[in-house]
């Protein structure tokens, strides 16, 4: 009986923590993004909506980064269509915009962005994606690129602006689905960061170099 109560209590506490975490998550991502004067080596936008590409292109045009990566481009979308969507002139697009077709999900976006950043030697990136997608994006990007500074520039989708999320079933469902995807990404990031010191010590020990105490 006592063990059963302990299990029920643990489950109840777990549900409360997850539920409370969801409320914090939803309130945070639904908040209107603040205007910030961001400047970095490069800009990366994760595809999923026309507004994201338009905003990333605006940052490039304003000189906030020297190059722009559009990650996760659908192979069916041609270069001319992307030029039109971005609002950039053809010369600027051809000069300073790189297209990534390999990524099929957020993990793929992170890998694609890492290879791009390494190729250009970038240490600081502006990340553009939807506000509700930003936490998971940052978690996956930080796991793939622990030494690169990430500067979030969330975009609030037009269909979510000024909505009270708990009064709209569609919005609540979208946020809940994203929260469920964010949790394992956050856990993976925490595990990776937690193992980093141990891995460094193991590498040092295997090379015969004494580690710092």
Write the secondary structure of 42-93 as one string of H (helix), E (strand) and C (coil): EEEEECCCHHHHHHHHHHHHCCCCCEEEEECCCCCCCHHHHHHHHCCCHHHH
Size of the chain in residues: 213
DSSP 166: G
Instruction: Look at residue 127 in the predicted model and tell me its pLDDT.
Output: 97
Instruction: Look at residue 70 in the predicted model and tell me its pLDDT.
Output: 97
Note the pLDDT tens digit of each residue in 169-201: 989 999 999 999 999 999 999 998 886 555 445
In the structure encoding, which two tokens stand for residue 111, read together? 């890998």
Question: Which sequence spans correspond to the domains of the chain?
Answer: 34-162
DSSP 161: T
Residue 204 scores a pLDDT above 70: no
**C-beta of residue 47 within 8 angstroms of C-beta of residue 68:** no
| Euclidean distance between CA atoms 210 and 206, whole angstroms | 10
Task: Give 125's strand partners.
Answer: 42, 150
Q: Which of 10-19, 90-99, 117-126 is predicted with the least confidence, judged by mean pLDDT?
A: 10-19
Q: Whose CA is closest to 96, among 52, 66, 125, 136?
A: 66
Give the pTM. 0.84
Confidence band of 210 (pLDDT split at 50, 70, 90): very low
Instruction: Give the CATH superfamily of 34-162.
Output: HUPs (3.40.50.620)
Note the pLDDT tens digit of each residue in 138-167: 999 999 999 999 999 999 877 777 778 888
* Mean predicted lDDT score pLDDT of the chain: 86
Note the pLDDT tens digit of each residue in 8-67: 677 777 787 888 888 899 998 888 777 778 999 999 999 987 789 999 999 999 999 999
CA distances from 82 to 75, 77, 131 (A): 11, 7, 22
């Amino acid at each position: 009986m006592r063990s059963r109560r302990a299990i029920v209590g643990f489950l109840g506490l777990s549900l409360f923590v997850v539920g409370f975490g969801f409320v914090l998550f939803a309130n945070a991502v639904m908040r209107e993004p603040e205007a910030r004067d961001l400047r970095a080596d490069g800009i990366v936008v994760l595809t999923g909506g026309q507004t994201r590409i338009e905003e990333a292109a605006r940052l490039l045009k304003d000189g906030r980064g020297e190059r722009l990566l559009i990650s996760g481009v659908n192979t069916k979308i041609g270069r001319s269509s992307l030029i039109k969507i971005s609002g950039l002139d053809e010369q600027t697009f051809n000069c300073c915009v790189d297209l990534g077709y390999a990524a099929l999900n957020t993990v793929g976006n992170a890998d694609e962005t890492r290879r791009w950043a390494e190729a250009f030697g970038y240490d600081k990136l502006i990340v553009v994606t939807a506000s509700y997608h930003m936490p998971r994006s940052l978690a996956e990007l930080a796991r793939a690129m622990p030494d690169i500074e990430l500067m979030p520039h969330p975009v609030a989708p037009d269909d979510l602006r000024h909505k009270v999320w708990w009064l709209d079933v569609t919005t609540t469902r979208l946020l809940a689905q994203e929260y469920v995807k964010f949790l394992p990404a956050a856990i993976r990031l925490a595990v990776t960061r937690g193992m980093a010191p141990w891995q460094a010590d193991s590498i040092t020990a295997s090379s015969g170099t004494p580690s710092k105490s």
